[in-house]
Amino acid sequence: MRDMNATPAQVREKIRRGMITGQTAGMCNGFAQANLCVLPREYAYDFLLFSQRNPAPCPILEVSDPGDRLLHMIAKDADIATDFPKYRIYLDGVLSEEVTDASPFWRDDLVSFLIGCSFSFEGELLAAGIPVRHIEEGKNVPMFLTNIPCQSAGIFHGNMVVSMRPMPADQVVRAVNATASMPKVHGAPVHIGDPEKIGISDIQCPDFGDAVTVYPGEVPVFWPCGVTPQAAVMAAKPSLAITHAPGHMLITDIPNAALKY
Amino acid sequence: MRDMNATPAQVREKIRRGMITGQTAGMCNGFAQANLCVLPREYAYDFLLFSQRNPAPCPILEVSDPGDRLLHMIAKDADIATDFPKYRIYLDGVLSEEVTDASPFWRDDLVSFLIGCSFSFEGELLAAGIPVRHIEEGKNVPMFLTNIPCQSAGIFHGNMVVSMRPMPADQVVRAVNATASMPKVHGAPVHIGDPEKIGISDIQCPDFGDAVTVYPGEVPVFWPCGVTPQAAVMAAKPSLAITHAPGHMLITDIPNAALKY
């Protein structure tokens, strides 16, 4: 059973000890969670440049020094190799295995990228009185490949992946404003309305995640999604990449509200 | 005489031809201007990481591919090596010469960093009805070394440099809000009030730029300053660095208003 009053540091310690290995959605409500992408140093400049050129789908919260397993900014004394509940190990772009402890794979040349997550702005939407459909329906958010090109950087390139949240038209402006002030967690929507304009043919067939109900008259609203950099990394087939398993994130010490400008 | 209706592309062409070699303050009013730092590829990752860790003093607008002299995002077909009115060439951290054309120094391994400039948010302050003292007095903005440490990245480290604009207390909140929405050009102030709190002993003795009048009862407001990354680069003594000469910037195609979130 979850202790709703546990601090992020307490939850990270339980995860480190293997006492929590499941998804982190809803844990430590109000604190930002982070995605992970770990790459050998040889790929780090291209990936950092990709994130600089595409900050909306790839908002970087912290970058480790090469070989450093500890975080210093977004979570005090967090161990990157053990404090996510589950990791994915990719070799040459192919999923090799899922593990709950990435320590055996750590190397002195690994650079860790901690990336902002839409959980943070969903809290903001709920706080603004805007219901979030996939949360209501107990599903994963629907995500779609678009025809919106990212700016390439070295070996990394690809189109943007977006997440979709449907809502009545009279909530759209509030949703834009509630998220625009949080660019470190994807910020404002990238598209509002007609899915075909961004290359989505069927709103009921997401490329990732689950389909959700869109009621008659509702407007689909599309946000830049953190799957974008993951897809770009997988397509580039680096010799090694370590990521979090979907939904199994790091719980940071940063309150969501502190991510606002 | 300046043609007040000239487009950024027209002014860049005059600069490229050597017809304009002076400072760019006030040119193409309403369009963002950019600072320049060019480094060999071997230093590029550390510098990009320094900017990622210190986005307020070092907001990157565009990064070139190695060897590429053309800009692709903030100014169409602009030549980085010729479209600034004046450049400074640093060898091992020491100023070697000032030139109006950096082409003879260009190499295939050079990476160009275009950095946002406070000219953009000063336009926003003026538009919000907040007078800017150094503009009123025809001076350069006063800048100070502080005791605020930057996050180090590889070879780059140092304390933050800030610019100071004094104003009556009843304008401060408006000044914060007017600039907070523009993080790509330094964003909100980093400190308001007592200069000693950030290690400044005499507000009338700036470390860079000119002293300006501070009237009795006025509050000094301090913003992160683009001299910060320049100082960090000079201290690291890279074998080669090319920067713009102070005040001699690139005029971009980006309206200041488009830099807002």
CA distance B112 to A160: 25
Q: pLDDT class for B1, splitting at 50, 70, 90?
A: very low
CA distance A129 to A80: 34
Contacts A151 to B, Cβ<8 Å: 73
CA distance A39 to A111: 5
Long-range contacts of residues A9-15, Cβ cutoff 8 Å, at least 24 apart: A9/A75, A9/A76, A9/A77, A9/A253, A11/A251, A12/A75, A12/A78, A12/A83, A12/A250, A12/A251, A15/A82, A15/A83, A15/A84, A15/A85
∠ at Cα B57 (B55, B62), nearest 5°?
Answer: 60
Residue of B nearest to A178 (CA): B261
Tokens representing B192 are 């308001």
pLDDT tens track for B214-255: 999 999 999 999 999 989 999 999 999 999 998 899 999 999
Contact state of B261 with A188 under an 8 Å Cβ cutoff:
yes
Q: Which residues contact A184 (CB under 8 A, 6 or more apart)?
A: A59, A61, A116, A259
pLDDT tens track for B81-100: 999 999 999 999 999 999 99
Cβ atoms A50, A232 nearer than 8 A:
yes
pLDDT tens track for A62-106: 999 999 999 999 999 899 999 999 999 999 999 999 999 999 999
Which residues are bridge partners to A90 per DSSP? A95, A241
Q: Which residue has the higher pLDDT, A128 or B41?
A: B41
Sign of the Cα pseudo-torsion (B231, B235, B41, A239, in order)? negative
**Quick one: pLDDT at residue B2?**
53
Tokens representing A76 are 């005090």
Averaged confidence pLDDT in chain B = 94
pLDDT tens track for B166-199: 999 999 999 999 999 898 899 999 999 999 999 9
Q: Is A166 on the interface with B (CB under 8 A)?
A: no
Please check the confidence at residue B259 and state whether its pLDDT lies above 50: yes
Pairing of the two strands B219-224 and B60-63? unpaired
Please check the confidence at residue A6 and state whether its pLDDT lies above 90: no
CA distance A214 to A165: 9
Q: pLDDT class for B119, splitting at 50, 70, 90?
A: confident
Provide the residue type at B102 as one letter: A
Q: Is A183 on the interface with B (CB under 8 A)?
A: yes
CA distance A193 to A56: 19
Which residues are bridge partners to B94 per DSSP? B91
Q: Which residues contact A208 (CB under 8 A, 6 or more apart)?
A: A140, A142, A143, A144, A161, A227
Contact state of B187 with A52 under an 8 Å Cβ cutoff:
no
Rg (CA), chain A: 18
Contacts B151 to A, Cβ<8 Å: 73
pLDDT tens track for B14-59: 999 999 999 898 889 889 999 999 999 999 999 999 999 999 999 9
Cβ atoms A141, A247 nearer than 8 A:
no
Provide the residue type at A223 as one letter: W
Q: Which residue has the higher pLDDT, A5 or B123?
A: B123
Contacts A181 to B, Cβ<8 Å: 261
**How far does B169 lie from chain A, in Å, by closest CA?**
22
| A162 closest CA partner among A34, A36, A53, A56 | A56
Q: pLDDT class for B75, splitting at 50, 70, 90?
A: very high
Q: Is B183 on the interface with A (CB under 8 A)?
A: yes
**Quick one: pLDDT at residue B97?**
96
Separation in Å, CA B48 to CA A40, A106, A240, B103, B251: 17, 24, 22, 23, 22
Q: Going from the N-terminus, what domains does chain B have, and what CATH number goes with each?
A: 8-117+237-259 (3.40.1640.10), 119-229 (3.30.2040.10)
Cβ atoms A227, A80 nearer than 8 A:
no
Q: Which residues contact A261 (CB under 8 A, 6 or more apart)?
A: A181, A182, A183, B180, B181, B183, B187, B188, B261
Burial (CB count <10 Å: 0-12, 13-18, 19+), residue A110: buried
**Quick one: pLDDT at residue B124?**
86
Please check the confidence at residue B123 and state whether its pLDDT lies above 90: no
Please check the confidence at residue A2 and state whether its pLDDT lies above 60: no
Which residues are bridge partners to B115 per DSSP? B35, B60
Q: Which residue has the higher pLDDT, B111 or A182?
A: B111
| A225 closest CA partner among A153, A130, A122, A128 | A122
Q: Is A73 on the interface with B (CB under 8 A)?
A: yes
Tokens representing A17 are 């000890």
Contact state of A181 with B261 under an 8 Å Cβ cutoff:
yes
Cβ atoms B50, B23 nearer than 8 A:
no
Contacts A51 to B, Cβ<8 Å: 52
Contacts A261 to B, Cβ<8 Å: 180-181, 183, 187-188, 261
Separation in Å, CA A8 to CA A100, B69, B89: 18, 46, 48
DSSP state of A84: S
Please check the confidence at residue A3 and state whether its pLDDT lies above 80: no
Rg (CA), chain B: 18
Q: pLDDT class for A4, splitting at 50, 70, 90?
A: low
Pairing of the two strands A31-40 and A250-255? antiparallel
Which residues are bridge partners to A110 per DSSP? A40
- Distance from first CA to last CA of chain A, Å, rounded? 35
Separation in Å, CA B186 to CA A43, A53, B30, B32, B60: 29, 18, 17, 13, 10
CA of residue A234 relative to chain centroid, distance: 15
Averaged confidence pLDDT in chain A = 94
